[in-house]
């Protein structure tokens, strides 16, 4: 029941968020394949049976992490999509992504982890999350290129791949340089995009 106490008087929603934070960091580090509920429980300071009580299975925990990450990232990208499809669209999108990731930087790896099984709830959740972000990238790229008179489907597909690779590389660089804030990363990417333009 919502708002009920979890362990040691901590509200359930707060305890679930703590477990998800630990699990997301673990997924980023070892993927679905290496995810251990015992390790997550120990790092979250809770019992393994509590993790099972909240999430039922390893798949349940993984799905909860993926859905939370995908919602956070997808909503930030949607918010950035408002406005003209100029180079500023790329800047707004990156700013939205960095802002969404700042409190939980591992969410990007959670969404793009591919060590999950080929079938089942974990695979379904991960594919749905990646489809949403790929769809957003395709729409943004199509709008940007259409403003420049480019509508060839292969051009759109190629540029969407370039965009996704660029975003993934920038997020990866950021994760390897944890002293950078979302604001600093946004400023850095603005400078880099301006250099390309």
pLDDT computed for residue 9 by the predictor: 79
pLDDT computed for residue 8 by the predictor: 67
Domains of the chain by residue range: 7-196
| Rounded to 5°, angle at Cα 193 from 85 and 167 | 80
* Helix pair angle (153-176, 182-196), 10° resolution: 140
Mean pLDDT by 10 residues, the chain (197 residues): 54 94 95 96 95 96 97 94 76 93 93 94 96 93 89 94 93 91 93 84
pLDDT computed for residue 7 by the predictor: 57
Which residues sit opposite 90 in a β-bridge?
A: none
pLDDT computed for residue 134 by the predictor: 94
Q: What CATH class has 7-196? A: mainly alpha
pTM of this structure? 0.87
Collapsed DSSP state (helix, strand, coil) of residue 35:
coil
Contacts 24+ apart (CB under 8 A), 124-128: 125/62, 125/63, 125/66, 125/67, 125/70, 126/66, 128/70
pLDDT computed for residue 178 by the predictor: 87
pLDDT computed for residue 52 by the predictor: 95
pLDDT computed for residue 113 by the predictor: 94
């Amino acid at each position: 029941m919502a708002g009920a106490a979890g362990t040691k008087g901590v509200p359930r929603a707060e305890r679930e968020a703590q477990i998800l934070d630990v699990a997301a960091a673990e997924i980023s580090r070892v993927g679905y394949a290496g995810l251990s509920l015992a390790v997550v429980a120990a790092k979250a300071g809770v019992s393994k049976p509590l993790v099972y009580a909240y999430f039922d299975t390893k798949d349940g925990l993984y799905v909860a992490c993926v859905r939370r990450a995908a919602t956070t990232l997808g909503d930030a990208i949607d918010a950035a999509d408002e406005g003209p499809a100029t180079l500023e669209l790329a800047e707004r999108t990156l700013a939205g992504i960095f802002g969404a990731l700042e409190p939980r930087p591992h969410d990007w790896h959670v969404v793009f982890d591919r060590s999950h099984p080929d079938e089942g709830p974990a695979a379904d959740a991960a594919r749905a999350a990646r489809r949403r972000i790929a769809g957003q990238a395709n729409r943004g790229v199509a709008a940007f290129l259409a403003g420049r008179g480019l509508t060839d489907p292969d051009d759109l597909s190629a540029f969407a791949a370039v965009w996704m690779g660029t975003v993934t590389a920038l997020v990866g660089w950021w994760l390897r340089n944890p002293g950078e804030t979302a604001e600093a990363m946004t400023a850095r990417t603005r400078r880099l995009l301006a250099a390309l333009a």
